[in-house]
Chains A and B, each alone.
Chain A
Amino acid sequence: MAPRIATSAADAVAEITDGSTVLIGGFGNAGQPMELIDALMDCGATDLTVVNNNAGQADAGLALLIKERRVKKIICSFPRQSDSWHFDEAYRAGEIELELVPQGNLAERIRAAGAGIGGFFTPTGYGTLLAEGKETRVIDGKGYVLETPINADFALIKALRADKLGNLVYRKTARNFGPIMATAAKKAIVQVDEVVEAGAIDPENVITPGIFVDTVVALGGNK
């Protein structure tokens, strides 16, 4: 089925309810779907579990969701940064749960969810604090840790362009988590600069096939 073309960011996120698990794309600000996150703020959904590489920067986007205590748990690889003051405060106050995951394991757990994989053995983290309590195995003399998929209710993603069938192209390093997050959520909500007619994106250049995309909203762009 072709994706729903939402009329606004608010319309795009309207289905997100309290207690949802939400994958949010972006590495730092590159690829962070700021308008969708702002709309998520406005829609009032709370008790969220958020999956992102970071835990918000400065006073925008994900940082504000955390500031307003709408995130009960964050799954990320790198929460602490020079400008992660809202996360730091929430964490020190014991008002947000943190699941720290090595970046590649985070990506692969998301990919596994989208690919229907029930778990995988990875060498990353073997013998470290982040593998404590997890099943391990030695395969051909090398140690591995069992990691499980991160399934989600929603993904909020920023891409450059979509066609009306939801096929996506991204822009430079803003691609980061977008393609894998689109596959791992029950509903992938994508903000783009523009929505074009089917056929206007060369099939050879499609990065995320439309089958993974549920809602698209065109918000224009700066470029």
Chain B
Amino acid sequence: MSAFRTTEANLTRDEMAQIVAADIPAGAFVNLGIGQPTNVSNYLTAQQGVTLHTENGMLGMGPVATGEDIDPDLINAGKIPVTQLPGASFFHHADSFAMMRGGHLDVCVLGAFQISKDGDLANWHTGAEGAIPAVGGAMDLAIGAKATWVMMSLFTKNGDSKLVETLSYPVTGLGCVSRIYTEVAIFELRDAKVFVRSTHGISFEELAAKVPVELTRI
């Protein structure tokens, strides 16, 4: 396990994506959630040999399609036209979610509204009155992969920590998150503890003062 490290500036979104990409094991099968996690694919190297899964029914997904490569029958889970790589495969939805639920995917990277110290994830519904709920594959993704990682900003617009003791937003999955990448720190959740792997533009002590859960320096 690498030693605790700290850098002077906050991580940019691209730097976060770059770090997540570097953490993905070689040869892994990976699902990147809609939004910020999709950016991770820009930093995966050919040497890593990572295969991307999109839950609407494809393994071996390539980059976003442009120009003449756009095919309305070839889209990702965000309904964006994509390309297929050599060795790609197509399958129906029950198989696609069996890959997830059955623990065949190595890593899934998601966004989040909140995460509890126990790794409970909230990312599907704010619970706001009048909001139309939509869940999609969020609950399947949360609990399905061997490792579920989250990318998010650590604080809300009001400055509240999204890493909390217990969730106030509706649950997506219980005890499923093992790693959290934020602009100010990277966390690892294991052995019923929240470890801080690194801080960025903030000291460990400042971080510990702002986050309402007990933190342990790696």
For B57, list chain A residues within 8 Å (CB): 27, 173, 175-176
Flag the segment in A14-22, A41-49, A76-84, A195-203 that touches B: A76-84
* Residues 70-106 (chain A) with a chain B CB within 8 angstroms: 77-81, 88, 91-92, 98, 100-106
Confirm or deny: A39 has a beta carbon within 8 angstroms of a beta carbon on chain B: no
Minimal beta-carbon separation of B23 from chain A (angstroms): 25
- Chain A 27-38: CB-based contact to B (< 8 A → 1; otherwise 0): 111110000000
A-B CB pair tally, cutoff 8 Å: 137
Decide if A107 touches B97 in the complex (CB within 8 Å). yes
**Chain B contact surface mostly:** loop
Confirm or deny: B137 has a beta carbon within 8 angstroms of a beta carbon on chain A: yes
* Residues 60-92 (chain B) with a chain A CB within 8 angstroms: 71-76, 79, 84, 90-92
Decide if A104 touches B125 in the complex (CB within 8 Å). no
Confirm or deny: B110 has a beta carbon within 8 angstroms of a beta carbon on chain A: no
Query: B residues within 8 Å of A by Cβ?
Result: 54-58, 71-76, 79, 84, 90-94, 96-98, 100-101, 125, 130, 132-140, 143-144, 170-174
For A110, list chain B residues within 8 Å (CB): 94
Decide if B139 touches A125 in the complex (CB within 8 Å). yes
* Residues 167-221 (chain A) with a chain B CB within 8 angstroms: 170-180, 207
Minimal beta-carbon separation of A188 from chain B (angstroms): 14
For B172, list chain A residues within 8 Å (CB): 128
Decide if B92 touches A102 in the complex (CB within 8 Å). no
Query: A residues within 8 Å of B by Cβ?
Result: 27-31, 53, 77-81, 88, 91-92, 98, 100-108, 110-111, 122-130, 143, 170-180, 207
Known: A30-B74, A100-B135, A129-B170. 15 other contacts (CB 8 A): A29-B79, A79-B134, A80-B133, A102-B137, A103-B136, A103-B137, A124-B101, A124-B140, A126-B173, A128-B173, A129-B171, A173-B73, A175-B90, A180-B93, A180-B94
* Cα distance A177–B97 in the bound complex, in angstroms: 11
Decide if A124 touches B132 in the complex (CB within 8 Å). no
For B174, list chain A residues within 8 Å (CB): 126-127, 143
Decide if B56 touches A173 in the complex (CB within 8 Å). yes
* Cα distance A90–B92 in the bound complex, in angstroms: 30
For B130, list chain A residues within 8 Å (CB): 92
With A91-B132, A123-B143: A30-B171 Cβ-Cβ less than 8 Å: no
* Cα distance A213–B90 in the bound complex, in angstroms: 21
For A179, list chain B residues within 8 Å (CB): 92
* Cα distance A129–B167 in the bound complex, in angstroms: 13
Minimal beta-carbon separation of A155 from chain B (angstroms): 13
* Cα distance A108–B94 in the bound complex, in angstroms: 6
In the complex, 29 of the A-B residue pairs with CB atoms within 8 angstroms, ordered by the A residue number, are A27-B56, A27-B79, A30-B56, A30-B75, A30-B79, A53-B93, A80-B132, A91-B132, A98-B133, A100-B134, A100-B135, A102-B138, A103-B55, A103-B93, A104-B137, A108-B98, A124-B101, A124-B143, A126-B174, A127-B173, A127-B174, A130-B135, A130-B139, A172-B74, A173-B54, A173-B58, A176-B92, A178-B92, A180-B94
